[in-house]
Amino acid sequence: PMIPVAHGGSAVAYRAPIEGAQASPLGNESFAVMSDPDDDIFVWLQNAEPIGLYCADETDGESLRACEQTNESLLAYEIGGTAVIPSLAESYVANEDATEYTFTLRSGVLFHDGSTFDANDVVATWTVQWDASNPLHVGNTGQFEYFGALFGAFLNAPPAEG
């Protein structure tokens, strides 16, 4: 038999005039689709401050909610739901074994500094997380727990202690 030892949950509340309000089942509300017709400032309160904003190396919900507002991924979840939708990728296909994925990237995407988003940015982002010897593979804890759990071993990982 299984005995539950923890229960997670999320709750959100908005002032009545907030437009685009949503409650994400994953705790990743998208503030970019919300607005307050009475004010040009959007105020959000949460349980705690984000622990860090090196988003690829964060695991706590408070940090990940902040990361949701500042980063855009290849794929995303629909607003208020869990269906996977395109984001920086227009589409993707997987091989039969789901071990290789090919993404078609959106064109014309610009970073805040005006530089153009392309496949090199995707490779650089992936490499920083995967290659433990990359000088930018530091993060908050340097553990990159979600990457390791989803994709397995790191490239150039230091020997295990013990």
Q: Is residue 24 domain-resident?
A: no
Within a domain: 117: yes
Quick check: is 16 in a domain? no
123 part of a folded domain: yes
14 located within any domain: no
At 37 the pLDDT is 92
What pLDDT digit, counting tens, does each position of 80-115 carry? 888 999 999 999 999 999 999 999 999 999 999 999
pLDDT tens digits, one per residue of 129-152:
999 999 999 988 899 999 999 998
Residues spanned by the domain of 94: 31-151
CATH number for the domain spanning 123: value is 3.90.76.10
Number of separate domains in the chain: 1
| Residue 101 CA: distances (Å) to CA of 58, 76, 92, 154 | 24, 16, 7, 19
Comparing 13 with 27, which gets the higher pLDDT?
A: 13
Comparing 23 with 7, which gets the higher pLDDT? 23
Chain centroid to CA 131: 19
In-domain check, residue 100 = yes
Asked whether residue 47 is assigned to any structural domain, the reply reads yes
101 closest CA partner among 134, 132, 75, 129? 75
Structural domain includes residue 25: no
